[in-house]
C-alpha cells in the first residue's frame, strides 16, 4: 500500500506526500474436515476486517468438497487478516507478492496535471472565440483533452484502489484423512450378509453348471459296467 494516502478527484490530485506506492496480492490454501463451516468462518472474518468478497465458488467432487474465494481487504490489515485465516484450518500454502507502482502513479499524476492546465487554457480560448470556426476548433480540442484526462483519472483511481485494498485468493479443501468413512457396525452386518448371499448364489450356480458333466460321467460308468 501507499505510505501515505492521497485524495483522488476527476479534476486534480493533491501533491503526493509519499515516495512509494505498492500493491500486494496474497494466496492462501486451507485444509480441514468441514469445508462449508470453514467457508462461513472466512466470510465472517472478512466482514470483521471490513473486507469485500468479489468472487466465491463452492464445488463438490464425490465425498470431497472445495471452496475458493477472492477477497479484498484494507492493505494495512493484510498481515492481521492472514493470521486470522490461519486459525480456520491447516495452512498448506501461503504466498504474498508485492508490486511497486510508484513510477506509474507519478506518470499519471503528471499527465493529468498537464491536461488540466491545457483544458483550463482551452476553456479560456473558448470563451474568447470570435468566430464559429475558432469556436468549433477549440471545442473539438477541448473535448479530446477532456476525454483523455478522464481516462487517465479512471486509471489513477483504479490504481489507487489497488494500493488501498489488497487482494487475497483463498482456497479451502477437505482433508482426505478426515473425510474417510468411520467404522459402522450395522453397515458391516449388511455387507457381511450380502457377501454370504452372494457366496451361496455362486455355489448354486456352480452346482447347476456341473450337473450335465455328472450325468454324462454316470452314463459312461454304467456302459463300461455292462460291458
**pTM of the entire structure?**
0.64
For 205, the grid coordinates are 450356480
pLDDT score of 10: 43
pLDDT in tens, the chain (227 residues): 644 333 334 444 443 445 789 999 999 999 998 898 999 999 999 999 999 999 988 887 655 688 999 999 999 999 999 999 999 999 999 999 999 999 999 999 999 999 999 999 999 888 887 888 878 888 889 999 999 999 999 999 999 999 999 999 999 998 876 544 445 565 667 666 566 565 556 566 656 656 665 666 676 666 666 76
Counting Cα atoms < 13 Å in the Cβ hemisphere of 227 gives 6
Rg for the chain, CA atoms, rounded: 37
* Residues 78, 26 contacting (CB under 8 angstroms): yes
CA distance 165 to 201: 68
pLDDT score of 6: 38
Query: Is the C-alpha dihedral spanning 205, 207, 209, 211 positive or negative?
Result: negative
pLDDT score of 126: 85
Q: 203 — phi, psi (to 5°)?
A: -65, -45
CA distance 107 to 113: 10
* Residues 84, 170 contacting (CB under 8 angstroms): no
Amino acid at each position: 500500500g501507499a505510505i501515505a494516502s492521497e485524495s483522488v478527484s476527476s479534476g486534480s490530485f493533491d501533491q503526493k506526500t509519499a515516495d512509494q506506492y505498492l500493491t500486494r496480492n496474497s494466496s492462501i490454501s486451507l485444509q480441514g474436515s468441514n469445508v462449508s463451516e470453514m467457508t462461513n468462518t472466512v466470510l465472517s472474518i472478512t466482514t470483521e476486517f471490513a473486507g469485500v468478497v468479489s468472487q466465491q465458488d463452492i464445488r463438490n467432487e464425490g465425498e470431497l468438497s472445495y471452496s475458493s474465494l477472492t477477497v479484498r481487504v484494507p492493505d494495512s490489515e493484510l498481515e492481521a487478516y492472514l493470521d486470522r485465516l490461519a486459525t480456520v484450518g491447516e495452512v498448506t500454502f501461503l504466498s504474498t507478492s508485492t508490486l511497486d507502482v510508484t513510477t506509474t502513479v507519478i506518470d499519471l499524476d503528471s499527465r493529468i496535471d498537464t491536461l488540466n492546465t491545457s483544458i483550463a487554457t482551452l476553456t479560456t480560448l473558448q470563451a474568447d472565440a470570435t468566430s464559429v470556426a475558432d469556436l468549433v476548433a477549440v471545442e473539438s480540442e477541448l473535448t479530446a483533452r477532456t476525454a483523455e484526462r478522464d481516462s487517465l483519472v479512471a486509471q489513477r483511481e483504479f490504481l489507487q484502489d489497488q494500493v488501498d485494498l489488497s487482494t487475497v485468493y483463498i482456497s479451502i479443501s477437505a482433508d482426505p484423512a478426515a473425510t474417510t468413512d468411520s467404522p459402522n457396525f450395522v453397515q458391516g452386518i449388511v455387507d457381511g450378509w450380502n457377501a454370504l448371499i452372494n457366496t451361496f448364489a455362486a455355489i448354486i450356480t456352480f452346482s447347476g453348471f456341473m450337473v450335465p458333466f455328472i450325468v454324462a460321467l454316470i452314463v459312461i460308468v454304467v456302459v463300461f459296467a455292462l460291458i
